A = this chain, B = another copy of it.
Amino acid sequence: MPSTVAERLAQRILQDHHIQVSPPRLAIAAYVLATDDHPSADQVWERVKAELPGVSRATVYNTLNLLVEKSLLCEHVLAEGRRVYDANTERHHHFIDERTGRIENIPWGQLKVSGLEGLGGVKVSDYQVVVRGRRI
């Protein structure tokens, strides 16, 4: 039973958050918590099936929702009905490649937004810049 680094890390994280560990959850978490991609639920499913052929789609969806609920994962709806998962739970901005659809994180410090104080009558709790374009 070769447990990878990602799996051991995932196991640790699940336990720390009082989430009962199981093979599907371990496989899902090991992938989704380690990747820099922004996979959709179905992409996670495809990926996890390679390792654990029996997992059902429902389990993947339910586990992702669980991880979001426990704040281990963020859910973004950035484009075209694509609900996407992101292990980076710190504040950051997003870049969407128009050609590939690929979503990348932009470190928080890299962009600065000014003028927010000028928004009258609103209490801002969060904001982000969404950049669209293409890699060259």
Contact = CB atoms under 8 A, between A and B. Distances in A.
A77 B80 CA distance: 6
Interface residues of A, number: 36
A113 interface: yes
B115 A112 contact: yes
B127 A128 contact: no
Number of copies: 2
B114 A112 contact: yes
Given A80-B77, A115-B111, A132 B125 contact: yes
Interface string A117-136: 01101111111111111111
A110 B118 contact: yes
A81 interface: yes
Contact of A122 (B113, B115, B133): B133
Given A77-B81, A115-B110, A134 B127 contact: no
A122 to B, nearest CB: 5
Contacts of A51: none
